């Protein structure tokens, strides 16, 4: 599959903070992934947190373990095969001579009442692929927020999640999700990349 051109969706001054790759032809893949991940959320225990501390930054969600990239499901593997080329594209990794690879990958199924507190990740680059962005909007919530200066709320940048789109941002950048009030599940596959 040919990679789409990345769109810069957030920056601070001249510094790019977040790029988006859109995959409009993955509707059938996303439909199968929605069914699979919603079923998992009913059948498998919530991991609560993938952090060593055990602290969770999220309310009202189901979280998989962080080894999703080892799952043999064909559609999960397809998303994995898109993440690494996007992360290593000329626009994203122009200053990095070494290839980035997925070190951890997980999914989250969230429902009404979901919210994500500001946090950051391990690794160099992080990804959020929206299998289904649900009803995310400024009115309903579920907005992805970047916090370049966490102690200064005026620096917060909001990005509207879109189904079939992948966001890439520096792992150390604090980010959060606004309180989600939608009826439709919000389903996200995330990953951290490292050299």
Average pLDDT, the chain: 90
Cβ neighbour number for residue 22 with a 10 Å cutoff: 15
State the DSSP string of 45-90. Answer: ------STT----EEEEEE--SBGGG---HHHHHHHHHHHHHHTST
pLDDT at residue 116 in the model? 82
Helix axes 27-43, 74-87, angle to 10 degrees: 120
Tell how strand 186-194 and strand 174-177 pair up.
unpaired
Q: Is the pLDDT of residue 115 over 90?
A: no
**Residues 17-44: tens digit of each pLDDT:** 999 999 999 999 999 999 999 999 999 8
Q: What's the predicted TM-score (pTM) here?
A: 0.92
**pLDDT at residue 107, rounded to an integer:** 96
Q: Domain-by-domain residue ranges, the chain?
A: 7-194
Look up residue 194 and give its two tokens: 């490292």
The pLDDT, as a whole number, for residue 66 is 92
Per CATH, the number for 7-194 is 2.60.120.620
Q: pLDDT value at position 135?
A: 96
Q: Give the pLDDT band of residue 71 (cuts 50, 70, 90).
A: very high
27 membership: H or E segment, kind and range: helix 27-43
What pLDDT digit, counting tens, does each position of 80-113 carry? 999 999 999 876 765 556 689 999 999 999 988 8
Q: Are residues 147 and 175 in contact, defined by beta-carbon separation less than 8 angstroms?
A: yes
């Amino acid at each position: 599959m040919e990679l789409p051109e990345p769109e810069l969706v957030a920056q601070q001054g001249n510094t790019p903070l977040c790029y988006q790759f859109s995959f409009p032809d993955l509707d059938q893949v996303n439909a199968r992934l929605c069914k699979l991940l919603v079923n998992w959320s009913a059948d498998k225990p919530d991991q609560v947190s993938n952090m060593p501390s055990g602290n969770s930054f999220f309310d009202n969600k189901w979280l998989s373990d962080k080894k999703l990239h080892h799952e043999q499901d064909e559609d999960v593997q397809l998303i994995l095969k898109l993440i690494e080329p996007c992360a290593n594209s000329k626009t994203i990794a122009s200053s990095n001579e070494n290839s980035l690879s997925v070190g951890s990958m997980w999914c989250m199924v969230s429902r009404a009442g979901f919210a994500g507190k500001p946090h950051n990740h391990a690794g160099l680059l992080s990804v959020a692929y929206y299998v289904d962005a649900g009803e995310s909007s400024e009115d309903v919530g579920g907005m992805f927020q970047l916090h370049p200066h966490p102690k200064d709320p005026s620096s917060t940048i909001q990005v509207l999640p879109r189904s079939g789109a992948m966001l890439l941002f520096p792992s150390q950048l604090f980010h959060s999700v606004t309180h989600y009030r939608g009826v439709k599940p919000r389903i996200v596959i995330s990953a951290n990349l490292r050299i």
